[in-house]
Chain A
Amino acid sequence: MMPALAMFVTDRLVHLSTVDVVIVVFYFVLVLAIGFYLKGQANTSEDFFMAGREMTAWIAGLSFLSANLGALELMGWAAASYQYGILATHWYWIGAIPAMLFLALVMMPFYYISKTHSVPGYLKLRFGESSRTLSAVSFAFMTVLMSGINMYSMALVMKVVLGWDINFSIWISSLTVAIYVALGGLRSAIFNEVLQFILIWAGALLIPILGLVETGGWTNLKAQIARNASSEYTHLWSTLGTFNGNPMGIHWTGIVFGLGAIISFGYWTTDFLVVQRVLSAKDLRAAKMAPIIGAAFKMMVPFIVILPGLLGLALLPVKLTGETAAVATGGHSYNEVLPLMLARYCGPGLLGLGVTALIAGFMSGMAGNVSAFTTVWTYDIYRALIHKDAPDEHYVSMGRWTTVIGVLISVGTAYLVMSFASIMDYVQALFSFFIAPLYGTVILGMLWKRATSAGGFWGLLAGTLSSIGMWAWVKVDPSALRYVALSPNARDMAENMYRALWSWVVCVVVTVIVSYLTKPKPESELNGLVYGVTAIPHEAEVPFYHRPAFWAVVVAVVFVIFNIMVW
């Protein structure tokens, strides 16, 4: 360990050698260099907030996925797979792939043709200012809070894994993100996300390869898990017939209708954090291909996230426990399974690359939050409500300052969470309140021309309030779980699935009823926004192997095969 860093280091899970530290430092230097290099290419608002709308399908697609592939995502789902087995894969397959393909083929034309800058911006065009304001304010508020929570969680991980001081981790990583996003805007965030995506794979892929070598292949791994835990841990669907027949306490209806149909569609099609990356594509075909490329790689992510968790279950000599038990006994928690596997196989150099992958994951997630927040604040709140007709340079300047301020608010939230840990549970629940109803509003807006402005607004509000109401009901009276989640045995994840489903239903029903009671917009005002009154470019002249629909079918077929393989 270099002497300069030694003062920030306490007890740790892994020990970095000099070459590991050089690899980590080189990563920070490179991302900053990219930010400084791209500063000159972020002079207009279109450049700064939309990356000039000139990204290829590959860049937009990898960035789309990378913004979601944060370090907590990597470590959290590796921990979940140790705890719940292969069921965690649902969040990568049925909880992502259908929604990503739907975004590509059905929704992307409307987002792209309408030339909106953001998802709240689409709501403004389709439903009016009130829907946009409700959506923008809730998104901006929750995004910076979530960013702060992730920042604190990651700093905690760095403390456990590397022994780094929490303040050191928070300030170094957040200032780096602030600098490169403020300098180069969305283009810089996207460039770094693609770099981070490659590093995540380069750093994490060795674990499953060497793990499978050590266990002697998938069949032996399953047999070992059956001995250490239960054979239920390696089945994806066959244990979901009852709530208590699987480690997660969830029924297949919750996975299919709650996660697969509502939560994932809400997240992947309306969360501006990810959609913003696709809006930067250079043309409509690239915008449609980007989520399909993202889906293809998303399907592979369980290989570097879920498989290491399962390998930990089979191979680690120690039994991992929950966080509270780990602290009480001085043992290791589920969350440490990925670093433990990293330390198991990776010597000098590889360990540095693996740690860089975790840091890269954290920074890509944070840059995604910050750039999305900056765009929504500048376009949908500041320009819409505070300062309408300023020159373009003014909004670019506002974007740069908002990036810095957004990061500082996130840092503030991180310190708030450090003092009041229970805030984390509340804010994560709050974030989920908005996703499902927003999906109801957007999808009705795109596919049903009779939906009115009043219908959109009241549906969104009713869906959000009903979600908050259900959450509060279960908090006050835990026995209400039998109504909200259809079973008193349902765990937190199952409750989230069903709450999302009901809030989406409330949003859709209220939107339909209010729309029939109010006057619709004339069709001439819906051109470019709604199915049936929008001319979508045909691809008859394009060879079939260049068509997004062809590749979506390929991804869908592989998706089905994968599910059957581990049924």
Chain B
Amino acid sequence: MIPMAGLLAIFAPLCAAALLDRVPSLAFGLPLLIAASAVFAATHHEQPDAIRSAMLQWLVWLGVILGVVLGVVLLIGIWV
């Protein structure tokens, strides 16, 4: 039996590649997402450790919010 992690390791890159192929703006959006997370984190905290952890939190937040928006737009694009 193939473990869950193995399935994820196989299918996650395939899904990511398919998504990048379908939505090229995703590749150009990622550097902006990382930059925005870094700046948002650094403008909310002062200590390097706090900035690092806040950057990850901002990355997840922004990624989820923008990902949902992108997903909805993608679905509308497919549906309409």
Please determine whether chains A and B interact with each other in the same assembly: no
Taking Cβ atoms with an 8 Å cutoff, the residues of A that contact B are none
